[in-house]
């Protein structure tokens, strides 16, 4: 595999992840925001569980868009990979990662709704970002494990895919959390949308750039 060939794969992969997260995660967040705006200020346990379910199911949008974009990027270098297998792997991993991501806040909301705990004070931003990095490690492992099951059938050395995603999302998740926090503090609405759009694009590019390096190494091993 030539250096030019590896660069072409990396650039395709970076673009696929940047725009895949821009549209996919953007759709997921928009769907959740629309539901919450229509659901109103429900505070019961049932409302918290329903919001959790909607949040997790919204991950279907991100998984589908991102998986198709990724498959387009990697297909020339991994001809044995099947689109359906990659989509299913991404879908299962994304839904598990969404469960991990939304479960802590749901438990807190349910505790507050039942009257068993007082509303928690918001921690300092550096703590939130540190927790986001930890969440990225866990979510990256969940997301990539099911993808690895599909990739290992089409390529040697696919085991690197799991730590690659853990590293990528450890770096990208704090950027997403920071962007959401910033977007909630600004007005008017179009500025909020612009900030989130830019953050999603950058986060996707960062994640793609990191695990794309590992993907190039896997592709090189299979073309050696």
Domain positions in the chain are 3-223
pLDDT classification of 43: cutoffs 50, 70, 90: low
Q: How confident is the model at residue 42 (pLDDT cuts 50, 70, 90)?
A: low
User: pLDDT tens-digit profile of 100-139?
Assistant: 888 887 887 777 666 655 555 677 888 999 999 999 999 9
The stretch 184-205 carries a mean pLDDT of 91
Mean pLDDT of the 81-110 span: 90
Residue 117's SS3 state is coil
Q: What is the DSSP letter of 224?
A: -
- For every residue of 42-90, which 3-state class applies, written as one string? CCCHHHHHHHHHHHHHCHHHHHHHHHHHHHHHHCCCCCCCCHHHHHHHH
Contacts of residue 27, defined as CB under 8 A and 6 or more positions apart, other chains included, come to 58, 61, 62, 65
Res 77: pLDDT: 96
Q: What is the mean pLDDT of residues 157-161?
A: 94
Between 35 and 210, the more confident residue is 210
In this prediction the pTM is 0.90
Tracing tokens 């650039």 back to the chain, one arrives at 11
What distance in Å separates the CA atoms of residue 28 and residue 121, rounded to the nearest whole number?
A: 27
Residue 212: pLDDT over 80? yes
Q: Residue 213: which residues within 8 A CB-CB, separation 6 or more?
A: 10, 164
Q: How far is CA 115 from CA 43, 49, 109, 162, 188, in A?
A: 11, 16, 10, 40, 35
Cα–Cα distance for residue pair 180/189, rounded to 1 Å = 13
């Amino acid at each position: 595999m030539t250096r030019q060939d590896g660069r072409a794969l990396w650039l395709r992969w970076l673009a696929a992840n940047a725009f895949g997260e821009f549209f996919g995660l953007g759709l997921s967040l928009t769907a959740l925001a629309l539901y919450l705006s229509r659901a109103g200020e429900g505070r019961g346990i049932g409302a918290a569980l329903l919001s959790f379910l909607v949040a997790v199911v919204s991950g279907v949008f991100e998984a589908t868009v991102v998986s198709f974009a990724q498959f387009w990027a990697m297909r020339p270098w991994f001809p044995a990979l099947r689109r359906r297998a990659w989509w299913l792997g991404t879908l299962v991993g994304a839904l598990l990662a969404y469960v991990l991501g939304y479960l802590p806040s749901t438990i807190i909301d349910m505790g507050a709704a039942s009257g068993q705990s007082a509303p928690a004070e918001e921690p300092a931003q550096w703590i939130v970002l540190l927790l986001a990095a930890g969440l990225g490690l866990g979510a990256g492992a969940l997301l990539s494990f099911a993808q690895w099951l599909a990739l290992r059938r089409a390529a040697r050395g696919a085991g690197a895919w799991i730590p690659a995603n853990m590293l990528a999302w450890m770096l990208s998740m704090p950027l997403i959390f920071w962007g959401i926090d910033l977007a909630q503090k600004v007005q008017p609405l179009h500025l909020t949308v612009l900030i989130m759009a830019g953050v999603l694009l950058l986060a996707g590019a960062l994640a793609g750039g990191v695990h794309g390096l590992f993907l190039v190494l896997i592709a090189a091993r299979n073309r050696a």
